[in-house]
Each structure stands twice: as C-alpha cells, then as structure tokens.
Amino acid sequence: MITLAVFALATNAWAAMPTLPISAGVEDASRSVALSAPPAQVDRDQSGRLDAIINVPADQPTIQAAINAASPGDVILVAAGIYVENLVVNKSLTINGAGVGLTTIYPAASDVGPCNAGSFQNSQVIVVSAHDVTISNLTVDGDNPSLTSGVSVNGADIDARNGIIESDGPWNNLVVHHTTVKNVFLRGIYARSSGSSFHIHHNTVQNVAACGGSIGIFNFGGAGLIEYNTVSYCNDAIAANWSRGTQFLNNVITNSGSGLHTDNNGGFGGVADLIQNNFVDDGAVNSYGIWVFFPYLNVVLDNNTVNNNDIGLFAWGGSGGQGQFTNNDVDGENRPGCLGIYVTVGSDAWLSYQSSVNSLLTGNTTANCSYGFAFDTDENGDFATTVSSSSYTFSGHTYDVYVSGVGAMSYSGLSGGTVWVQAPARIQDGINIANSGGSVTASDGTYPEALNIYKSLTLIGESQAGVVINASAFSDYGIDANGDFNFTFQNFTLDGPDAAITGNYGLKVSGDNATAAISNVTVIGTGKTGIDLNGLASGSITNCTSSGALSGNGLSLTDCSNFTINGLTTSGNAWGGAAVYTYGRYNTGGSNNVNFMGTLNISEARPIYWERVEWMSVRPPLTNLTVPPGAYPYVVGSALYPYLEAYMPSQAAAVAAATTQGVNGWAYDRALDFFHVTPPIAAVTGRANGVSFNVGL
C-alpha cells in the first residue's frame, strides 16, 4: 500500500500537517483573479420599503452598531479604515466595504481554542445567523496587531478561530465575494449551516493552517457555488462534506496541504458535485491536489490542472457513487514519490475509512511523476477497486502504473509501459496491465501465485532474495511465458509447484522464435524442471540458480538456438544439472549454438548432458554445443543409445556414471551396452574422434 500522511480534512481523519512557510512577496498575478466588485444594490422589500443605506462610521460608529440598527434588507457601507470587532449578522443584510485592504476587520478578542474541538466557538470575526446575507469588498484579518495569542502560524500571531462562519441554521443565500480572509486558526469562510444557494466567489483566502482540520473555504451539508477564489497557504484549501450539490469552478489554489475535495456528496440528498476548471499548484509536503472521498453520487472532476503535488488526483473509497475524472492535466514536476492519479479503498491503517471504490478515468494526462496512475485494494482482500480508463496519456514517469493490495481489482482499458507492484499484491495484475514490450517491477515481498505471461514483457524483482513468487501450492507452471515474444526475467526467487507430476515446471518459456534473457533468478522446489526453455531463437542465462527438481533438471533447453549460459548453480535436481535437448514435437526441431561459460557450480551426478529425442521417427540435429573443457573435460556416452552424452568434471566421474547409473538413468540392458569416455570435444559432430571402451559389468 502507499503510505501517505493522512491529515484532518472534512473527513475528520485527524493527523498533523506541517506548518507551511509563507514566502516573501505577492502571489503570481497571472494565477489570481482581480476583478472589481459591483456596487451594493438598494432594493425595496416586500412591503415596498426602500432598503436603507447605513454608512459606517458616518451613521453608526461601528459595524455591529449598524447591524443592530438596520432592518432586514438594508445595506451597510463600511468606509475605509480599521475595525476591531467580532460581528454577529442576525438579519438579512449586505455589508460592503470600501475595498480589500481598505476596509479591514480585526477580531476584538484573541481566543483560538484547541484544534480538536468543534469549529463554532471562541473568537469568530463574522458570524452569519440569517438568510440572505452578503459580505463584500473588505478584509478579515485574524491577526490583530494589538493582541498576542502566542499561536504563530506562517509568521502571523493568530487571534481568531474563524473568519466568516455561519451559526446553526440552516441559512440560505449566503454570498461572500471580493473579500480577503487571512491569518485564521480553523475556518476561513465556512458555510456550515447546511443551507442552500450560497455563492462564495472572487475571494482571496490565505494562511488557514494552524491545525490538521484548518480549511480555507468549506461547505458542510449545503448546496451552492464556490468559484473564482484564490486560496493559498492553507492546510486544506477548499472542501465540502455531505454536500447536497456544490459546484467548484475556476478556483486557484497554491502552497496548500490539500487543494480541493468533496466528501460524502449526496449522503444528505441533493445532486452530484462538479469540480471543474480549477488550478492547484505547488502543494505542501504530503499534498493532495483534487480528490473525492466516499461519494454517494457520481462526482465529476473535469478539466482541472494540478501541478507539483504529492498526489494530483485522488479517489478514496465510495458509498455507491463514482469519481468521474475527465480531461484533467497533472504534472508532478518530478516531485519525489509523487502520484499522478491515485484510486484506493483505503489502507487497513485507516480503519473505518475503507470501502470499495469505483472510478471512471477518461482523457486525463499525467506527466513527470514517480507513478502516473496508482491504485490499490486493501491488505486483507475485503474490498474491491474498479477503474475504467480510456484516452489517457502518460509521459515522463518513473513508472506509469502502481498496483498494490490483494482485494478484487478491475482495470478495464488501463495499460502502461512500466508497472510497479507493491507487496502485498498480485504480480499478475501488473502483468495484465503492462503493455506488450513493457516491464513489471515487483517490490520485495512474498507473492502466493502462479503467473501467466503471453506477451513480450520484462519481469523484474526488487532483489533476488527479497522477491519470492510462491507457486508451491499451485499445479501446472510456476511461471508460464508462452508465445513468439521477447521475455526478460531478473532478480527474483520462484518457489515452484511441489508435486512431481506432469506440468509442474518452475519457469517455463516456450515459443518458436521467442527470446528469453534470464538473470539473477533462483528457482527452487519444483516438481519438474526448474528452468525449462523451449523453441527459443536466442537468449541467455546469467548467474541463475535452480535446485530441488523432484523429476527433471535444474535447466533444460529444448530446440533452442543461439543461447548462452554464463553462470549457473544447480543442486538436488533428479535428472541432472543442465540438459540440451532436440525434440521437434512442440517447436521446430533442433538446437544449435548453445554455449556454456563462466562460473558453473553444478553438483548433480550428471552435470551437463545432451539428448536427441525421437519424435515421429525423427531425431532433430544438435550442433555447436560448447561446454568449457577446463570444467568438464570428459564426455561419457553409450553405444546402445548414441543419442545422449554427458559432460563430466573428471574421468572418474565419467566412468562412475557409466558403471553405476547408465548415462541417462533410464532402464535398459546395460549388460549389452558399450560405454565410452572421451577427451573434450568442441561439438557433438566431433564425437567420432573420441576413444571408446567397454567398461564392463
């Protein structure tokens, strides 16, 4: 599973996030929205009364005094200046300042409270307790320079727990626009009353990062629109929980722990959320870009851009709904360990925050990540991950795809050139996902499975001893690589099928004109031959080990040509260490140009031998077999069965093989046989130059 720092968002999965430093200077103007606010409107109420305009401080000395004096529907115009107040707006009013940075409201009380308490308490700059409240053209700054809280976040001494927040309602039609909220402990702008038709737009929210649950702009249980906001240096920039229908449009988010997400959408009813045309850049450590958590409805995440975050797009769990990711663009900018798109049921460490997950991925682009697309199930196999993919683009990734977990996986339409498999997992899932000609790399761990590979593929283990493919409980081949493809195997151990029955081979590679390059692979405990190669046009064995075949060799090459064995260790294999056969039954018959070289640690009584096996009255030819004469200077053969010779390390071993076993170990009338031992020969065709003799019985 992927290990992530899970921090408190609207999910209440509490954990701490690091403090985010605020760099000097201003935000990139090209990524912010700087539109002038429209003037406050003056209308008539239902009785025909003209809404009054109350000027502060000309008509009332403070904003709260103006609120107290106002009637529902009135407009309060707040002149430029500094106002030190904690406001309660308990009427339908418009509060309009002279402009951001001109009209500034500081909290009158310094009291942020603890992180792990309810949000609605302590010092709150503006509390909304009415329908139809509009707040615009002013700054709410939670750091009153005249007060000292001792709670320092990003260089600010935070005095206010919340900036603009609704009380218990529900309250409808809250509008906050062209306003800056900054230096707040827990919530910047919070529509918390489960009301309808809120509209939070064209605002700037900065430095809401004191706690794991600090959120810049947040909707709980309501429905409305959050658009054209610029949010930075927040633990959680923009979020909704139990939304009844929220549209998140055209927001710009930078330097935050989490960019934008919706949790449990539809659990209170309503319609599906839409997350569209948002930009998330330069996330904090362990940052998430845009994501969906346990949706009840089909949340659409469309045409968003996420750059330089640890996770770009993220789907975590489900409650019957689906995360639909369409036409998004993610660039990890080579951030170490970053993921382009991550779909997960949730780690077992996340306890109740686990469920099956279903995601649709269409038209997305990911670039320059450690993993372009990552998905997993849980470690115990209790949940399922379902992904449907199409029209995606990978570029510049260390690995295109990451898979982990042992639960059910469905990944229609998904493929990648490079796949990482993280234990506990199934390597077969990685094989299925990999493109033809691609590679699968498995992390250290034990994988209880047998593998089928029917395309050109490279299979790599993180380390030879650390990756164990345990096929001991399976029948048939431990690894079946079949077809006229190019296969590469590196750095793993295969514990093969145990029973000594037909088919229980370890690593079996077959295919006319196929190729196989096998290096640093260990095969143990097979029923039949450990490494069994058939029909290959070319290939190599490099520094491999094969031991414990109950009925077979450590290595067998049948009808293979242009093959090099450079470094081989075998022991305890019933038939012998290594054998070169010709057969012609399943592949084009004949073996040519097979070369043993390098370090050969072969301990069986028959270390290396060749045999021309008859099929349909034909014994295909064997030519140009080379065995190092320094290691195996003697050859033993038989007159009755001249289609087999064995290479021996000493004359005594050769004579012993003939007198005590027979070269091939098969039963035949050895009393009538005529065995011979020769000096080394360069090839099978030179056998006639040997000196034959009867060793007798």
pLDDT digits (tens, 9 = 90+) for 640-665: 788 999 999 988 888 777 666 544 44
CATH class of segment(s) 1-291:
mainly beta
pLDDT over 90 at 666, yes or no? no
Is there a contact between 573 and 552 (Cβ–Cβ < 8 Å)? yes
> CATH top-level class for 444-628?
mainly beta
Name the CA dihedral angle for 407, 410, 415, 420, rounded to a multiple of 10 degrees.
-10
535-557 pLDDT, tens digit per residue, is 999 999 999 999 999 999 999 99
pLDDT tens by residue, 52-96: 999 999 999 999 999 999 999 999 999 999 999 999 999 999 999
Q: What is the pLDDT of residues 564-583, one digit of tens each?
A: 999 999 999 999 999 999 99
The mean of the pLDDT values for the chain is 89
Q: What is the pLDDT of residues 370-395, one digit of tens each?
A: 999 999 998 888 999 999 999 999 99
Which band of pLDDT confidence, cut at 50, 70 and 90, is reported for residue 187? Answer: very high
Q: Is residue 9 very low, low, confident or very high in pLDDT (cuts 50, 70, 90)?
A: very low
What is the average pLDDT across 306-313?
Answer: 98
- Predicted local distance difference test score (pLDDT) of residue 36: 43
What does the domain layout of the chain look like in residue ranges? 1-291, 444-628, 634-697
The percent of residues above 90 in pLDDT, for the chain, comes to 81
Ordered DSSP codes for 408-459: -EEEET--EEEEEEESSS-HHHHHHHEEEEEEEEE-SEEE---EEE-SSEEE
Predicted confidence at residue 34, as pLDDT, reads 33
**pLDDT the model gives residue 675:** 57
> Which of 229-243, 410-424, 548-562, 676-690 shows the lowest mean pLDDT across its residues?
676-690
Spell out a b/e string for 135-162, using b for 16 or more CB atoms within 10 Å of the CB, else e.
Answer: bbbbbbbbbbeebebeeebbebbbbbbb
* Residue 548: strand, helix, or coil: coil
d(CA 177, CA 202): 5
Q: Please confirm whether the linkage preceding 57 is cis (ω < 30° from 0).
A: yes
Strands 274-276 and 451-453: unpaired
Distances (CA, A) of 248 to 253, 259, 278, 487: 12, 11, 8, 48
Exposure string for 88-98, b = 16+ CB within 10 A, e = fewer: bbebbbbbbbe
Q: How far apart are CA 692 and CA 679, in angstroms?
A: 10
Domain 1-291 shares a fold with domain 444-628: yes
Residue 496's pLDDT is 96
Q: Per-residue b/e over 276-306, b at no fewer than 16 CB within 10 Å?
A: bebbbbbbbebbbbbbbbbbbbbbbbbebbb
Q: Which residue has the higher pLDDT, 455 or 674?
A: 455
pLDDT digits (tens, 9 = 90+) for 492-547: 999 999 877 778 999 999 999 999 999 999 999 999 999 999 999 999 999 999 99
pLDDT at 45: 53
Asked if the model's pLDDT at residue 109 lies above 90, the reply is: yes
pLDDT value, residue 676:
61
Tell which residue, 401, 312, 322, has the closest CA to residue 356: 322
What are the residues facing 596 on neighbouring strands? 565
Query: Given this model, what pLDDT does residue 657 score?
Result: 75
Q: Residue 660: count other Cβ atoms within 10 Å of its Cβ.
A: 8
Region for residue 317 given its phi and psi (left: phi exceeds 0; alpha: psi -120 to 50; beta: otherwise) = left
Instruction: Give the pLDDT score at 610.
Output: 95
pLDDT value of residue 43: 55
Q: What percent of the chain has pLDDT over 70?
A: 87
**DSSP code per residue over 125-146:** EEEE-SSS-EEEEEEEES--TT
- Tell me what pLDDT residue 678 has: 67
Which of 227, 416, 392, 233 minimizes the C-alpha distance to 326? Answer: 392
pLDDT band at residue 680 using 50, 70 and 90 as cut-offs: very low
Has residue 4 got a pLDDT over 80? no
Residue 25 has pLDDT above 60, yes or no: no
Taking 90 as the threshold, does the pLDDT of residue 621 lie above it? yes
Whether pLDDT at 259 is above 80? yes
- pLDDT tens digits for 312-363? 999 999 999 999 999 999 999 999 999 999 999 987 776 678 999 999 999 9
Interval 620-630 mean pLDDT: 95
Give me the pLDDT at residue 41, please.
Answer: 53
Using 50, 70 and 90 to split pLDDT, how confident is the model at 1? low
| Residue 341 DSSP one-character state | E
326 three-class SS? strand
